[in-house]
Amino acid sequence: MARVGISCTLAGSALALSATGSAQAAALSNNKISGIDVAISCMTASRCVAVGDGAHHGQVVALTNGKQTRVSTVGAAEHLYSVSCPASAGCWAVGPQNTGANVVLVKIGSTGKVTKSIKVTVPAGASLTRIACVSMSSCELVGTNIFFTPFALEIASWNGKKLSVHRLAGLKGSTDATLEGVSCWRASCDAVGYYFHNVSKITGFILTISRGKAGKVHTANNDSFYGVSCVSSSKCYTAGFVSGAAGVVVTLTNGVAGHAQAESADVSGIECAGATCRASGLELGGALYYGVIVTLSNGVAKGSPVVDMAINGFDGPQTIAKRGDGFAAVGPQQKGTGSEVATG
């Protein structure tokens, strides 16, 4: 991953970051929230939810204009991995059960309050960690299955009551696989991740999904793909890393990697509306990491990254969400034990 090798390349920019970061961050509004939150999604321009760990149990934090207004505990879940809000009606989140190897699907109402937690059995060895919904009755979940060699990919459809799981064989010769992100445009979805080959080699991949069924797997050597955001049935954008370098945002057309925009910072999350995307990531400034938001147009970087010194990096595939014409991003506090939400 890029984080291993970027310290030297970015250390030289630490002084510049210190001088410019405060001015750039002035465009953001920051608010502290409770828990260790790893994913965020928005129902409307003013109402979002962040999910994660609230002291050894799942947690949903309701946000109004970036400020915490309610915290719901999900006792059945150890923590929550992922959340998707398809409309103002609510959201679905997913996480592992407190006991056993199955999952919990968490329904969140229009106010950001948890209304239902459903324990769901998954195939032995399967771990479903990401969710993308186009409605409250139509979601796709993705993950992997460690009981197969090479690791298999798991794709699941959720209609609000029943989970239908499909399995896809892993890449021949790989030793590990991770599905990091999934995004849908109506019935078409792209899931992204990466394969390891005895640790020394990484192959990024894009899996197309249509109406809940796995399509083709396309690969990209030396890339690790994390977040993904689809703007049509054929076009998506993915954020991740290039081996031995920093971040990259890649344009996907029908699941095939196209234009690659190199970034000076690591980027892992991405949200797009039409041609405009914002990628969330982290950048090293001296001994600390800072949160970074990169704006792109048609997959090409637009202006300088915005640096947020209040946040210890945005690190994950769902750390940023579209919020009306703006965005909301979540990461760990630079000072403190909780999380921080930046809106812009």
**Considering the domain boundaries, does residue 310 fall inside one?**
yes
The per-residue b/e assignment along 61-87, b for 16 or more CB within 10 angstroms, e otherwise, is bbbeebebeebbebebbbbbbbbbbbe
pLDDT of residue 198: 78
Cβ 41 vs Cβ 49: under 8 Å: yes
CA angle 15, 18, 19 (to 5 degrees): 90
Quote the CA–CA distance of 52 and 316 in Å, as a whole number: 12
pLDDT lower than 70: segments of the chain: 1-26, 199
Q: Could you tell me the maximum CA-CA distance found in the chain, to the nearest angstrom?
A: 53
**Considering the domain boundaries, does residue 62 fall inside one?**
no
**Considering the domain boundaries, does residue 215 fall inside one?**
no
pLDDT of residue 313: 97
Phi, psi dihedral angles at 172 (to 5 degrees):
-60, 130
Cβ 328 vs Cβ 63: under 8 Å: yes
**Considering the domain boundaries, does residue 270 fall inside one?**
yes
What is this structure's pTM? 0.92
pLDDT of residue 200: 77
Quote the CA–CA distance of 207 and 93 in Å, as a whole number: 21
**Considering the domain boundaries, does residue 12 fall inside one?**
yes
DSSP E strands in 173-287: the ranges are: 176-185, 188-197, 201-210, 213-221, 223-230, 235-242, 247-253, 256-262, 266-273, 276-285
pLDDT of residue 224: 96
pLDDT of residue 2: 40
Quote the CA–CA distance of 331 and 197 in Å, as a whole number: 30
**Considering the domain boundaries, does residue 316 fall inside one?**
yes
Structural domain count, the chain: 1
**Considering the domain boundaries, does residue 301 fall inside one?**
yes
Q: Collect all residues with Cβ–Cβ distance below 8 Å to 111 and sequence separation of at least 6.
A: 47, 62, 70
pLDDT of residue 16: 33
**Considering the domain boundaries, does residue 140 fall inside one?**
no
Residue ranges making up the domain that contains 268: 1-33+263-344
